Structure 1
Amino acid sequence: MANRIPESFIAEVRQKVNIVDVIGQYTQLVKRGRQWTGSCPFHDDRHPSLFVEENKQVFNCFSCGRSGSVFSFVMEKEGMSYPEAIISLAESVDMQVDSQFVADATPRIDPKTQAIFDLQAAAQRLYQHILQHTTSGETALHYLHDKRQLTDETIKQFGIGFVPDDNVLLQYAETQNISREIMLASDLFLSNDEGRLRDRFAGRVVWPIRSTNGQVVGFSGRTLDSKNSIKYMNSPESPFFNKGQILYNFDLAKGDIRKTGTAMIFEGFMDVISSEIAGRPAAVATMGTALTQDHVRQLTRLAKRILLVYDGDEAGQNAAKRSIHLIQAQKQDVDIGIVHLPDDLDPDEVRVQKGKEVLKQALDQNIQTPIAFLIQAARYNKNLSNQTQYLAFLGEAMTILQQATPVEQDMQLTRIANEFGTSKQALIEQLKQTPKRQSKETVNRTSQHFHQQSPQITDMEEPPLTGDDAAFSSNQQSTNQIEQAERALIMAMIKSPQVLEQVSDTTGFAFVHPEYQLLMMLIAIYQKQQAHFDLAQFMDFIQKPELNQRILAIDRTFGDLAVEPGAISDYLRIIMHDAPVEAQIKTLQQAIDVAKQQHDDNKLLQLTTELINIKKQRNK
């Protein structure tokens, strides 16, 4: 599959995408000498173990061992294949992607799931046709035109439809010989006690719900019957419809989110549509559930700023509070804003009652910081002319202000002092005296931030080596000299095809450690395909984490050394001559230990003599 994407396209993606920018979306990176450091996003990393080399476009975690290029990072973090990672990164920098690349990179879907998706897509087309072109949809169409003030163009853009009461989808499925198993699995039908099926969304205007790539995976329906107590109905949770992972309109909005760097989160589908009508298309909505970590992850890959546009009622205020804490806990460097709408209307009501220009202005200008919003929310349901309730409000406000910058503290204290006639100096004193009452999320967030800002590194140019890398660092003792020679020889092969040829032609040569023999073979294949060696590209070519970790360690130790002909001869001598001798010495030392335990003095004398002679020969 990967071979179908031309190497020239992959090289262009590699050139346009900066690994620091990509990894920086998942963890805060700090420049330390030639490298960037941060907490590894693949595990609970209390001390920064992740190192990113911008000039070579590679990363490495000294704790969990993950390493590679920007492609392998995205593959590991997002569960993508190599072609999917290439396409995802290409789209992130607005490169034109051939549709055939996308088709080739798309994972093959099992026949049952594909049949379900086909039925979902057919249902959407059928429902929209009924709404716009049949008498059955006239009432629903009038409702959308008159009460919702939607044009036919907007209805078509968002795929809105209508489901009549005559089981039209069931009839369609039967004429297409779609099996009962697929119909039930699609969740587009309900079954009664006798096992008879009927259209789930009968009598409802429906909004299709699409996955990130635009596949219809479910519906949300609104009844037109005022007597129906179930006003809204969503498709039930299923393997392909997970409300905690799906954001309404994300497939259409992601281009604008990426372009503007801003994502707006709404509570309702019509709020999203109203934002589009008002000229602000970077809008998504949660599926009748709270914002989740998956939602935040999707958005912060594209956006550096998130605006929460929630209703002004108590439920909306509480949802905004939860969302603020969730985003801050997961992504500290994202700018958060909370949009305040006039008269506590929801966005759709603002557009319908006051016009799209008023909504556009509110989305652009009526933006509060999290601190300002939380202090405003602390007023909710309090009579601030009552001394007791006013003091309770001040207590909450002071706790909130402890998380604010000095400038915002000053602004908010000035506002409170002016509004209520309280001395600003008294407010400042109360703020100083207020004990810090951090939530668990805040404590974790602060701790993580401290570790990210204060990595435990003594040498800013080169990271501390642990585990395998520490054992084989350039300062290791002579007992590890053989592996040092193997690593140095691998780097010489990388830098010079002539060295690779020389080693290949050396009779009887073989690396002591088999992983270096494998690397030698891979280097030979790679050099036949590429005119120049590129570390990140070679790691993508390998696609073996343990070998990538090894090649990075080699590059760190020997990458800056020049290839010297005399050094190559030394490496070969160490590997071909010294290594067998060292193996003999090790065997003799083990035999001497056994002789000592058995108190065999004659054997001990013989073995010791052999060991002394071998060491003399080695040191000549």
Structure 2
Amino acid sequence: MVFIQPGYRPFFFTRKRRPFSLANYIPDEKVSQVRNRADIVDIISEVVRLKKTGKNYLGLCPFHTEKTPSFTVSPDKQIFHCFGCGEGGDVFSFLMKYGNGAFPDAVRQVARRYGIDLPARALTPEQKKRLSQREEMAKVNQRAMAFYSHSLKNKTIGVKALSYLRDRGITDETIEAFDIGFAPDGWRHLGDHLKKAGVAAGIVQSAGLIVQNKRQNGYYDRFRNRIIFPIFDLGDRVVGFGGRVIGADEPKYLNSPETAIYNKRRILYGLNRTRPACRRSGVIHIVEGYFDLITLYQHGIENTAATLGTALTEDHLRLIKAYAERAVLVFDADQAGMKAALRGSGLFLKAGIDARVLVLPDGQDPDSFVRESGAPAFEAAVKKAPGIVEFIIDAAIHRYGKSVEGKVRVISELEPMFATIDDPVARSLYIRLLSERIEVDERAIREKMTRASVPVDRRDRREPFAEPGLKGDRGVSRAFKLEKLIVAMLLQYPEMIPDVEKSGIIDRFSDLELQALGRSVIENRHGSGVDISDLMEKSDKPELKKTIAALAIGRDDGWSRKGCLQLIEQYQKISDPDRRQIIAKIKAAEAAGDHETVARLLQLQQARGQRQKT
């Protein structure tokens, strides 16, 4: 049985008695059933764009910024490992790290995906209250969406709203695809509808659908006389709404407040529907508004998502990175649009995501541009859109001008940006571009930028087996490197387990953690193989799971029996204390010119080597 206690960190694979908690109880056989049913590639590919490379899959790590993929997923071993930052583990480890959740939550998430029933968990009163509130919010949002949809289709109530949508070119198919609705003009239409259905006013208010009046003796509808756009999360759950007023009232657009299930910093509107197109094309267009996305989608440009007027966040970038290799930021030509483009540009550059910036002509937004000029014109404009760095350079020149003072300010403002570009070729090309744009000597700019540059993050340059969690200064130890290779050999080429067991070299390991891991691999073999996921499950120590993943995935170099035997022999030689003493005596005899002693010691060493081989 598995009982997960937050913060519990046993040493290696020992099983200690933990406090019993029904809330965290999942039988071992159920955990194994879920793990065996899960496909780690299928689950991780939902949030990381993976490409098959040999036996494994590669992608950009979701846990640190990188430009060259080092995040590796092994479908055979059902594990992942990033050679850049060292993160690794099984499918549960990934979900816990990515979602910042606990082990039982990860198991239940996978179980739900594959239709596996798990025992109902006992919850504390507070847990029950929170869970119930979230579930009720989702249900009331679903009811509200149905009400808005019905109102739009009502030939009396929705005629004006439907006419407005028709005038903007929105088809019935698009209305259905995005579940567009209408909030009637009036103070209590939705509130009264939900009250008649027996929904408590408190949960409706918590969902942001009604607002308490100033006298605090009643409620009124938040959305009135507005076209309604339901906002979905990636699980197709209605988490909030946006409303566009019909007429001249303000504000033009009104969104749901943040709730227990809606956080605008983590939601990109439409991505629940458009992510297959983003994944297919490898490109995602980022726009600001509902109609921008809907119109592009209707005109065949389906690989689009909208920020809903909020500034781009790191959570947004994680979503973008999961479904596309390149982003195109599409903004209005007004000042607000330019500022949004600049904010977003810096964030993309910092995250190392390939992106372009398309600023549309004056008076145009994506919606109006596509309706007036068509999809081909939009796609042509996208192809001409400058990259992020070029856009930022031109924006700085536009802001400060080309006077002497202006040029100095341009260079000073761009220094931090250039410092983040770790590709020396790209940095050199952009410096040349800046030199040409402001007509300043390239060498002078290069010298100033070089002084301002910061050390490149070396996380992507780590050695394949430089795992976190292995303590001590072992980088200079040849024995430690060979011990890691031996454990990696056991995990990747388990046919050598009998030979390693017979040689007894695990007992000679100087590193106790690797020694314990090596013994566990030998003890947990099944036939001729090793169940990596099962090995990880027996440890509650995250750092050890990362080490197992790193050593198990390797670099696809392949193993041969001859090479493995040579590795064992090599370790036997350097770990043999008698041999080290003989070598020391040989060196001393050579220094003293005692050739007779040297010859005798060499014969002794050769004889010992022959005995070790037999």
Could you say whether these structures have the same fold, taking a TM-score greater than 0.5 normalized by the shorter chain as the test? yes
Provide closer, same or farther for how the CA distance between residues 26 and 275 of structure 1 changes in structure 2, counting only shifts above 3 A: farther
Provide closer, same or farther for how the CA distance between residues 488 and 237 of structure 1 changes in structure 2, counting only shifts above 3 A: closer
Provide closer, same or farther for how the CA distance between residues 376 and 354 of structure 1 changes in structure 2, counting only shifts above 3 A: same
Listed as ranges, the gaps of 5+ residues in structure 1 are: 39-50, 89-96, 417-426, 478-482, 504-512, 568-573, 575-620
1:352 equivalent among 368, 371, 387 = 371
Map 1:200-349 → 2, pairs under 5 A: 200-226=222-248, 228-331=249-352, 334-349=353-368
Aligned-pair distance for 1:180? 2.5
Aligned-pair distance for 1:368? 1.3
Provide closer, same or farther for how the CA distance between residues 137 and 519 of structure 1 changes in structure 2, counting only shifts above 3 A: farther
Q: How many residues align?
A: 501
- Are 2:151 and 1:151 equivalent residues in the alignment? no
TM-score, normalised on structure 2? 0.65
Of structures 1 and 2, the one with the larger relative CO (CA 8 A, separation 6+) is 2
Cα separation, 1, equivalents of 2:521 and 2:377? 63
Provide closer, same or farther for how the CA distance between residues 272 and 393 of structure 1 changes in structure 2, counting only shifts above 3 A: farther
Listed as ranges, the gaps of 5+ residues in structure 2 are: 1-29, 45-50, 122-129, 419-425, 504-511, 571-576, 578-614
Partner of 1:424: none
Can you list the C-alpha shifts for 1:114-145, whole angstroms capped at 9, x where unaligned? 11101101111220121023310110111111
Can you list the C-alpha shifts for 1:455-489, whole angstroms capped at 9, x where unaligned? 4x7xx676499853657997569xxxxx99x9899
Partner of 2:454: 447
Provide closer, same or farther for how the CA distance between residues 561 and 470 of structure 1 changes in structure 2, counting only shifts above 3 A: farther
Cα separation, 2, equivalents of 1:76 and 1:145? 46
CA RMSD of aligned residues (A): 5.3
Can you list the C-alpha shifts for 1:168-217, whole angstroms capped at 9, x where unaligned? 32222122211232122111111112421222102111111111221111
Aligned-pair distance for 1:490? 8.8
Map 1:531-610 → 2, pairs under 5 A: 532-533=529-530, 535=532, 538-539=535-536, 542=539, 544-545=541-542, 547-548=544-545, 561-562=564-565
Can you list the C-alpha shifts for 1:155-178, whole angstroms capped at 9, x where unaligned? 111111101126332222122211
- Aligned to 1:206, the other structure's residue is in SS state strand
Cα separation, 1, equivalents of 2:489 and 2:357? 58
Amino acid at match of 2:211: L
Cα separation, 2, equivalents of 1:491 and 1:341? 55
TM-score, normalised on structure 1? 0.65
- Are 2:399 and 1:374 equivalent residues in the alignment? no
Amino acid at match of 1:307: V
Partner of 2:471: 468
Aligned-pair distance for 1:538? 3.9
Does the 8 Å contact 1:5/1:83 carry over to 2?
no
Does the 8 Å contact 1:60/1:68 carry over to 2?
no
Provide closer, same or farther for how the CA distance between residues 250 and 379 of structure 1 changes in structure 2, counting only shifts above 3 A: same
Select between 535-544 and 312-321 the one with higher mean Cα deviation.
535-544
Does the 8 Å contact 2:468/2:546 carry over to 1?
no
Partner of 1:10: 39
Can you list the C-alpha shifts for 1:267-302, whole angstroms capped at 9, x where unaligned? 111111121123211111113211111111111122
Provide closer, same or farther for how the CA distance between residues 27 and 329 of structure 1 changes in structure 2, counting only shifts above 3 A: closer
Aligned-pair distance for 1:240? 1.4
Amino acid at match of 1:324: S
Amino acid at match of 1:242: N
Provide closer, same or farther for how the CA distance between residues 433 and 541 of structure 1 changes in structure 2, counting only shifts above 3 A: same
Cα separation, 2, equivalents of 1:488 and 1:353? 61
Partner of 2:66: 28
Cα separation, 1, equivalents of 2:288 and 2:492? 59
Cα separation, 2, equivalents of 1:392 and 1:305? 35
Cα separation, 1, equivalents of 2:475 and 2:392? 53
Does the 8 Å contact 1:275/1:360 carry over to 2?
no
Cα separation, 2, equivalents of 1:277 and 1:197? 37
Q: Which has the larger radius of gyration?
A: 1
Provide closer, same or farther for how the CA distance between residues 393 and 501 of structure 1 changes in structure 2, counting only shifts above 3 A: closer
Cα separation, 2, equivalents of 1:462 and 1:516? 16
Does the 8 Å contact 1:371/1:400 carry over to 2?
no
Cα separation, 2, equivalents of 1:54 and 1:98? 18
Cα separation, 2, equivalents of 1:138 and 1:488? 69
Partner of 1:41: none
Does the 8 Å contact 2:331/2:337 carry over to 1?
yes
